[in-house]
Amino acid sequence: MEKRSELYRGKAKTVYHTDDPDRLILEFRNDTSAFDGEKVEQLADKGKVNNKFNHFIMSKLEEAGIPTQLDECISDTESVVKKLDMIPVECVVRNYAAGSLVKRLGVKEGMELSPPTFEFFLKNDALHDPMINEYHIQAFGWAKAEQIEKMKELTFKVNDVLKKLFADAGLLLVDYKLEFGVFNGEIMLGDEFSPDGCRLWDAETREKLDKDRFRQGLGGVVEAYREVAKRLGADI
Ligand code: ADP
Ligand code: UDP
C-alpha cells in the first residue's frame, strides 16, 4: 500500500490517498482539541495510543457483525481504512448524563439514562456542531431515511457490544460519538472509536478516563487512555 497525497487534515487526524482508490490512510496525530478547536495541545504518544485503541475496538465491532472501515494498522500512528463517502452527522448515544446534555437540560451528571438516548449533531465546527433531527437530515439531503435508520440501528448495536466490553474491564461507557459513511452502497462505521470521542468512567470511583481530562484540565490524559487499554487487554 503506497501513501499518496494528503486529502484532508482534520483536528486530530490527517487523511491520505493511497494507490488503491478504495483505500485511505488515517494518520492519528498527537494534536488534541476541544471546544470546536479553541483549545489545542500536543500530547505525547496520543496518536499511537488512539490508532491502536481504534483498531482494537473496530476489530471487536467487526467480530460482532458491525460493518466498519477496518483494514489494517500499518505503523504506530497509521491505519489503512476503506474510503467511505462520509455522512456529515455525528450519532451520539448516552447511557449516563454528562457533557452537553447536562448543560442543555440542567440534569445531574452521572444519572443513568433508561432507555439510553440518541442524538444527531451536524458536523460543522463553525456552527459548533448544532443538534439536528431526522427531518433536517433528509430535508437537506445529508442522508436518506433508510440510511438514517441504519445509522441508528448500528449505533445502538455498538452500544450493546461496547457496554459489555467496557463493563468487563470495570468501566462505564457513559456516552460516545460515531460517524458513518457509505462504501459500495452500504452504511459502515468510519472515523474512530477512542477515548477522544467517548466518555469512560471507572465503574467504582467514577474517575474520568477520557478526553474530559483534557477538556477539564485534569492532566494524565494519555495515561488514562493507556489505563483503559490495559484493562481491556489491548496491545498498545
Ligand atoms: P475533524 O474533521 O472533525 O477535525 P479528524 O481530525 O478526526 O476530524 O479528521 C478525520 C476526517 O476524516 C474527518 O473529517 C472524518 O469524517 C474523515 N474520515 C474518517 N474516516 C474516514 C473514512 N473511512 N473514509 C473517508 N473519510 C473518513
Ligand atoms: N463528541 C465527539 N466529537 C464532537 C462532539 C462530541 O467525539 O464533536 C463525543 C464526546 O466526546 C462525548 C459524546 O460525543 O463522548 C457526547 O458529547 P457531548 O454532546 O456531551 O458534547 P461535549 O460536552 O463533549 O462537547
Cell of 36: 470546536
**What per-residue confidence (pLDDT) applies to 86?**
98
pLDDT (average), residues 108-114: 98
C-alpha cell belonging to residue 129: 456542531
HSE, side-chain direction, 13 A CA sphere, residue 42: 2
What ligand has the least distance to the C-alpha of 23? Answer: 1
- Decide the pairing of beta strands 85-86 and 70-73: unpaired
Band (pLDDT 50/70/90 cuts) for residue 60 is very high
Q: Is the CB of 100 under 6 A from ligand 2?
A: yes
**Cα(201)–Cα(149) distance, rounded to whole angstroms?**
29
Check if 181 has its Cβ closer than 6 Å to any atom of ligand 2.
Answer: no
Mean pLDDT, all residues of the chain: 98
pLDDT in tens, 176-216: 999 999 999 999 999 999 999 999 999 999 999 999 999 99
Confirm or reject: Cβ of 132 under 6 Å from ligand 1. Answer: no
Query: What is d(CA 171, CA 162) in angstroms, rounded to the nearest whole number?
Result: 10
Cα of 171 vs centre of ligand 1, distance in Å, is 27
Q: How far apart are CA 82 and CA 5, in angstroms?
A: 16
Ligand 1, atom 18, residue with closest C-alpha: 191
